[in-house]
A and B are shown apart, each in its own frame.
Chain A
Amino acid sequence: MTDLTDLTVADIRDGFRAGNFSAREVAEAFNSNVAAAKALNAFIVETPEKALDAADAADKAKAAGEPLGALAGVPIGMKDLFCTLGVQTTAASHMLEGFVPTYESTVSGKLWAAGAGMLGKLNLDQFAMGSSNETSYFGNVISPWRRGGGDNAALAPGGSSGGSSAAIAARLCPAATGTDTGGSIRQPAAFTGISGIKPTYGRCSRWGIVAFASSLDQAGPMARTVRDNAILLEVMSGFDPKDSTSLDLPVPQWEANLSSDLRGKKVGVPKEYRPDGLNAEIAALWDRGIEWLKDAGAEVVEVSLPHTQYALPTYYIIAPAEASSNLARYDGVRYGQRDLPDGAGLQDMYAATRAAGFGPEVKRRIMIGTYVLSAGFYDAYYTQAQKVRALIARDFELAFEKCDLLLTPTAPSASFALGEKQADPLAMYLNDVFTVPASLAGLPAMAVPGGLDAAGLPIGLQIIGKALDEQTVLNASLAIEERASFTARPDKWW
């Protein structure tokens, strides 16, 4: 019998419906993989009983001939940025250690309503701030991948959705939720040889997701196949009147409309994404990607996104500015940690609580955000950044007059060793160079694995689409998936 944990979401869904196995068998198989993978530190909280409860409910519904939800029988992992009713939600911070929400986020609620079960809360960079999963209060997530040739260095699973990416790559869950502010779904997907999509800003409700940067945060799925991403995204998307920035649009049938036939589509290749010194293996994969899309029937054109080089600095003004304000609510008054030194007044309590509750990267970003919004600097930094952001969005609009989608690398390199970039925040920020522009413009973008580098580590490609055109993004990604035939998986060492 095949190992159930090697199955995709679609396989599990269909196999369960066909009676090939029970939902409980699936949940138990994943639960035992989770339990055996402590070395990866992918989960902050494991909830095997939740996975079993959902599985039993699915089995019971099936036996009774009741209608089954789109994800009946499918257990998944939940990034610990989504508030889950009755289950500790920490954003990987000490600040929220012990916080048990009395409410369920809209997106997680939709997944449970569709029959999915929760295997646990996945580790991440603290408050989703990081690209290597080294900022979690609950310890680093270790990538299941290792370099070839007996190099046992612990590698980064990417960030901030590093628990999600590691868990999927290691077959601890068939799929997971992620959130993406500047690349937090796509870069970890690329580092671990899986795929993940950040939909158009406003597709998925932000209600109940611990906020990092409101104008950029967007939830999305992560899984091993493009089809699985389509299945999850359909469940996660949809209008939510509780989120003012939610789009009041019907959810397309992305899975049913999957097609890798790209005839009639024009693929733009932005020249600014090929700077001097681009990693040769990444550049070579990008060229292969161009050939694959041509092979699928697409026409390839060169386009220009002239403000690309300003995307990262723009992001590192806007995201910290929003974060400095979004994280002001963590003050030790209503929930979470409180640090009250002897004789401390209210304001002292705030300063002590926040000093103890936030990690160094979170503090750094709050301070940068506070500075760029402070009196006398607001226009020079924040207003200027929002203007450049408008120019970046216009670059995309103009490019999309010439093409239907863009093909770029996802990250500038394969995964790196933990600790390697930690000393220099700027070097870490540069990891998001290819993912941040689409975030600033709110566009749908997907990471899909393309192959392995010389060290045997996954590297990936990114498809960026027009606003609301997730279908084309998924279809082009499918075309790459079919041609890349990426079947590599990490050898189990944990």
Chain B
Amino acid sequence: MSIDLQTVKKIASLSRISVTEAEAEAMVPELNNILGWVEQLGEVDVTGVEPMTAVIPNRQRLRDDVVTDGNVRDKVLANAPQAEHGFFAVPKVIE
């Protein structure tokens, strides 16, 4: 599978990274190089193999249903580029 300029732009858009035309063009061979290389995995026979789920055998623990956190609005908002009236502020979203 080889990707073209359009695909690069689409991936950039999905990734929410704006790219100039020149940047996108430069990325085409770069990404193709890497993707072409990883595609060698296709030759591995994986018949009957389950995808790895846990790296080291371990069991998902479950928490008790107790309120142990929150009420830290100052900490939550401390690094916000724009916070007003206890909210994070973003450019107006039209739904």
Direct contact of A and B (CB under 8 A): yes
Interface residues of A (CB under 8 A from B): 98-100, 102-103, 200-202, 215-216, 241, 244-245, 247-248, 307, 310, 313-314, 316-317, 324, 328, 331-338, 340, 344-352, 354-355, 358, 363-364, 366-368, 370-372, 374, 377, 380-381, 383-391, 393, 425-426, 429, 441-442, 467-468
Q: Is the CB of A313 within 8 A of B37?
A: yes
Q: How many B residues, CB 8 Å from partner?
A: 53
The answer to the question of B6 belonging to the interface, with a C-beta cut-off of 8 Å to chain A, is no
In the complex, the 3 A-B pairs of residues with the closest C-beta atoms, listed nearest first: A386-B51, A335-B79, A442-B55
Q: Which of A313, A328, A354 contacts B41 (CB 8 A)?
A: A313
B residues within 8 A CB of A335? 79-81
B residues within 8 A CB of A366? 15, 17
Q: Is the CB of A245 within 8 A of B52?
A: no
Sample of 14 A–B contacts (CB below 8 Å)? A307-B44, A314-B38, A332-B81, A334-B88, A347-B16, A349-B91, A351-B13, A364-B31, A364-B34, A366-B15, A384-B42, A391-B46, A429-B34, A441-B55
Interface residues of B (CB under 8 A from A): 1, 3, 7-8, 11-19, 27, 30-31, 33-35, 37-42, 44, 46, 49-52, 54-56, 58, 60-61, 63, 72, 74-76, 78-82, 88, 90-94
Q: Which of B13, B18, B52, B58 contacts A386 (CB 8 A)?
A: B52
CA distance A337 to B81 in the complex (A): 7
B residues within 8 A CB of A390? 49-52
Taking chain A's interface residues, is the majority helix, strand, or loop, or is none over half, making it mixed?
Answer: helix
Q: Is the CB of A99 within 8 A of B79?
A: yes
Residue in chain A with minimal CB distance to B60:
A244
Known: A349-B91, A385-B38. 20 other contacts (CB 8 A): A102-B79, A200-B56, A201-B56, A245-B55, A247-B58, A332-B81, A334-B79, A335-B81, A338-B82, A344-B91, A346-B91, A351-B17, A354-B17, A355-B18, A355-B19, A368-B34, A368-B35, A370-B15, A371-B35, A390-B52
Residue in chain B with minimal CB distance to A103:
B75
B residues within 8 A CB of A102? 72, 74-75, 78-79
